[in-house]
């Protein structure tokens, strides 16, 4: 796994954070542990990094920068779907640590998105959607939170309807109503996300999928064909955006590795 260079930059800058509050020397020690943890994290030694970040937080309980990286180190040790109890333990510890950041920074959207993502990967869509809702409540312009809700709505619908919609006829009236409501919620979220980011092609991919889910419930052949046609048009537009983004990325100058 490649480590994003921004982590290394932030770790280096962390030592520049003003020292105030509890003892000056104690805060210096906390930052020293953070920097050592950053080196271990960059080397993908996540367990070692977590221990160093834990020591940093123990020295300075209000040091949210260390808490953020501690939670991230826990997250790196979480393997979605793994039967290993340690994996689940790491996910829960990450969530708890992110939540501790929100105690003093209640509007920290990065922490909230991380919690939503962890719950999603733990197959707890209800909690994931709840956290996305919290983000939208404090920042209606957060397109990613809206996108995540749409992804969950699609996944929940697809599990119920089947590949070709073969399970729809076996759903209870209540399940049908709930699934259609979720599909519409997803489409509404995508609509909001695209108004915020018109080039959000990942969101358009799921708009396409959600229209196809809705089509599975349509009994009228002509109406169903129109929904699928609409989905096809959205899919083609999203593909064009994907290709354009790939072309623009390819045009960017490549950085040579050290020594080359």
CATH of residue 95: 1.25.40.10
Q: Report in angstroms the alpha-carbon separations of 16 from 4, 12, 38, 51, 129.
A: 20, 8, 14, 22, 36
Tell how far CA 18 is from the center of its chain.
Answer: 30
Q: 209 and 167 in one domain?
A: yes
Regarding pTM above 0.75, the answer is yes
Tell me which residue has tokens 């990967």: 121
Same domain? 112 vs 174: no
Give the span between the Cα atoms of 119 and 139, in whole angstroms: 20
Instruction: State which of 139, 164, 179 marks the end of a domain.
Output: 139
3 within domain boundaries: no
pLDDT in tens, 110-169: 999 999 999 999 999 999 999 999 999 999 999 999 999 999 999 999 999 999 999 999
For 244, the domain range is: 142-249
Domain assignment of residue 24, yes or no: yes
Count up the domains in the chain and report the number. Answer: 2
Give tens-digit pLDDT for 11-54.
444 444 454 445 788 999 999 999 999 999 999 999 999 999 99
Buried b / exposed e along 218-241 (16+ C-beta atoms within 10 A): beeeeebeebbebbeebbeebeeb
Q: Does one domain contain both 108 and 164?
A: no
The DSSP result for 105-130, as a single string, is -TT-HHHHHHHHHHHHHTT-HHHHHH
Q: Is residue 42 assigned to a domain?
A: yes
One domain, residues 164 and 123? no
């Amino acid at each position: 796994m490649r480590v994003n260079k921004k982590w290394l930059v932030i770790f280096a800058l962390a030592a520049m954070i003003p020292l105030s509050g509890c003892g000056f020397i104690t805060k210096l020690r906390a930052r020293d542990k953070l920097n050592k943890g950053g080196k271990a994290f960059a080397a993908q030694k996540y367990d070692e990094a977590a221990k160093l970040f834990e020591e940093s937080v123990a020295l300075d309980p209000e040091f949210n920068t260390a808490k953020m990286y501690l939670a991230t180190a826990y997250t790196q040790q979480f393997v979605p779907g793994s039967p290993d109890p340690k994996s689940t333990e790491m996910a829960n510890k990450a969530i708890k640590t992110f939540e501790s950041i929100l105690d003093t920074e209640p509007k920290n959207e990065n922490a909230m998105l991380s919690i939503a993502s962890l719950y999603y990967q733990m197959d707890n869509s209800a909690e994931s959607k709840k956290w996305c809702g919290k983000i939208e409540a404090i920042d209606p312009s957060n397109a990613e939170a809206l996108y995540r809700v749409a992804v969950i709505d699609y996944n929940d619908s697809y599990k119920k309807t089947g590949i070709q919609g073969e399970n729809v006829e076996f759903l209870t009236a209540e399940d049908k109503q709930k699934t259609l409501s979720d599909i519409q919620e997803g489409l509404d979220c995508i609509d909001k996300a695209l108004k915020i980011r018109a080039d959000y092609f990942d969101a358009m991919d799921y708009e396409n999928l959600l229209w196809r889910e809705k089509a599975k419930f349509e009994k009228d052949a002509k109406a169903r064909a129109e929904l699928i046609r609409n989905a096809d048009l959205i899919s083609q537009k999203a593909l064009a955006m994907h290709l354009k983004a790939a072309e623009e990325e390819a045009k960017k100058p490549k950085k040579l590795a050290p020594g080359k």
